Every structure is written in structure tokens, then in C-alpha cells.
Structure 1
């Protein structure tokens, strides 16, 4: 599982000629790093100087820590979901009945595989929201890491979007495809716009 392996082991698997982990897992780790950066900046925004913001900072710290765990869980979930797609393509198809079973399994696996990146985009949005809240009160010595968190979350959202797309186009069942498209079309746009805006604000503050 990605959540319990070393960085070197994960990267070795990612670089290898095997289907999992792939872009979906990488997207989840982008989100996890974004959340971790938010948590780090929050922990530097403590002490007497920031006492008036203690409640806000404590809430952000706790929420960011939770998003790290959730992102890592989604990394593992994405790997399992994609493996299920691979396994479904390996099902036997010697008879019409087996072909029908295989086709149904493939379509179900594809639909399920699109759910994890959709969840991840929501998590990425939460990371950006927390980073934006923290920006207002953050320790200026680590303000650049607020932008780094936003950019990491942005990468998570846009990468997850591509993973949704590749599953949607492979779904043959019109109703399932339409339903999934309705649920996911444009869900990354808000995250991207918010992240870009926050990065701009951070850079303006640094350069002012």
C-alpha cells in the first residue's frame, strides 16, 4: 500500500513497467503534500504573536492532518480501482454468456475507477480552501508554502480530471456515461481558479 511504503519504494514502482501505481495515485500524493504543507504552515503560525488566531489555526491544522490521511487512502483506493479494471479485461470471453459478463464487469470497473479521482478533486478543493484561510493569518516566514500547497492541490485536481476523462470515454453504456459526465464535468475548474488566485496573492505579498 502506498500509504505505508517508503518514498523510494513508491517511486520505484511508479517508474516501473507495471500499470499500478499510476497517475491517479500520483494525483492523490499531490493532494497529500498540499495538505501537509498547509499543516506545516499552520504549526508555524502559533505562539503569543498569533494567539488571537489560535482557534482558526488549530481548526486548519486538524483539518489538514485529516486531509493527508484521506488523500493517502485515495491513493490506495485508486490503485485498487485501476487494478480491478485490469482484472476485468482479463476475464474469459469464450462464450456469449462469458462475453456479456466480461463486458458488464469492465463497465462497472470503469465507473468505479472514475469515482476515486472525483473524490480527490473535492479533497484538493478543501486543501485550497484551507490554504486560503490560512493565508490571511499565516506566519510570513513560511508564506511561500501556502502557494506551494495551492499548486500541489491544483496538480491533484487537474491530474484527477484526466483520469476521470480516460475512464468516461471507455464507458460504452450511454446512461452510465452521461450520468458520470454530469457528476464530474467542470468539477476541477473551481479548484484551479482558486489555486491560481491564491498563488497570485502569495506572490504579490512576497514581492510587495
Structure 2
């Protein structure tokens, strides 16, 4: 279904070219958070592809395990895509909060509260992207020893895509953390940022391991 004129299309319903043109434009959305979600979705899709190629008589002993990995990866792919779309929607809401009037002290107070609430809400898709990326890396680690050797380089590609998702989400999370006054919410995001930093190292390890296996 085509969006109405002036209506922002869902990333999942537009062409790659359309998305990239919007990303490259001067519009505030989509931005880094949406890109992070799509990196995670691509990482999951690559893991699923390798698992799908791990089938047939040669892989009879591990085919069921590979299929489970593929199914889980597809769920994570959808989680990453949803996070990208939610990031765009919620960042748009944050932009609207900044445009609220601030003439009176009451308006300033309401605007400040709206910005805080919108900033906290906008961090949720980033945390979801981190979570999905961590799970993708774990699936890649499980798949590497059993996967079809002909496509194991794509496990490395998946790890690199997951790393990009984590690093991009981390950069945006750090920016949001600086703006949040609520201690509990800030601590929650600090934890997500810490998990992203740790997972980046795991993504590097998986990529290096996969490349070493392919080169052996």
C-alpha cells in the first residue's frame, strides 16, 4: 500500500533507494537509530541464509539445529526492522516535543517534561537493537562449527553487520544518556550501552574466527 502524499512511508514498505534518499536528505528522520536497526536486521538475515544452506544429506546430523537457528534469526531480523521503524517514529515525536511553545514558565515546564519523556521513549528501539544484535552474534557462534563451509564467510559478514548495529546504537544511546535526568532511566540506558560495548568485542571475535575457518 502506498503512503498518502506527505505521509512518511514505513521503512519495510519502501524501496532501498527511497530509504537511502530519505536518509541522505536534510529531514531529521530516518537517522542513526534507524540505520542501526537495519544493520541488525541484515546481520540476522545473513545468519538465517547460512543456516538455510546448512541442509541436505551432508548436514543431516545438524540440519534440525540449523533450522532452529534460521527461525530464530528471522525473528531477530523482524525485531531489527521494527526497531528501525520505531526509532524513526519516536525520534519524530522527540522533534515535535522540541517544537512545543516556551513563552510562559508553564509552557517551558511542559515542554521540558515532554522532551524528557520523548527522549526516554526514543531510547527503547536502540536498546532493542542492542538486544537483537547480541542474540544474532550468539546464533552466529552456534552456527559457525556446523554451518555449510561454502557460505561461512557470511557468518563473518553477519558479525560485521551486528558490530555496525551495536556501534551505531551505542553512539546514539550515549547522546540520549547525556540528556536524561531520571536516574533510574539513565542507569537502564547506561547498562544497555555497556552491553553494546561488550558485544562489539564479541562481534569482532566471531568475525575473526569465521575468517580464520574459511582461510584454513
Instruction: Give TM class, smaller chain.
Output: over 0.9
Gaps of 5+ in 1: none
Query: Is 1:189 the counterpart of 2:174 in the alignment?
Result: no
Q: Where does 1:33-182 land on structure 2 (aligned, <5 Å)?
A: 33-171=42-180, 173=181, 175-176=183-184, 178-182=186-190
Aligned equivalents of 1:23 and 1:205: distance in 2? 32
Cα pair 2:34 2:87 within 8 Å, conserved:
yes
Aligned residues: 207
| CA drift at 1:177 | 5.7
| CA drift at 1:174 | 5.0
Aligned equivalents of 1:135 and 1:181: distance in 2? 31
Q: Which residue of 1 aligns with 2:4?
A: none
2:213 counterpart (202, 205, 208): 205
1:119-166 deviation digits (Å, cap 9, x = unpaired): 110100011111111101111110100000011001101100111111
| CA drift at 1:28 | 0.6
- CA root-mean-square deviation: 1.3
| CA drift at 1:112 | 1.2
1:23-76 deviation digits (Å, cap 9, x = unpaired): 111111101110110111111110000011022111001001111111110000
1:154-188 deviation digits (Å, cap 9, x = unpaired): 110110011111111122x2525643444334111
| Distance verdict in 2 for CA 1:92–1:124, change over 3 Å | same
So what's the TM-score if we normalise by structure 1? 0.95
| CA drift at 1:189 | 2.5
2:38 counterpart (22, 29, 40): 29
Aligned equivalents of 1:192 and 1:182: distance in 2? 15
Cα pair 2:80 2:132 within 8 Å, conserved:
yes
Aligned equivalents of 1:58 and 1:191: distance in 2? 24
Gaps of 5+ in 2: 1-9
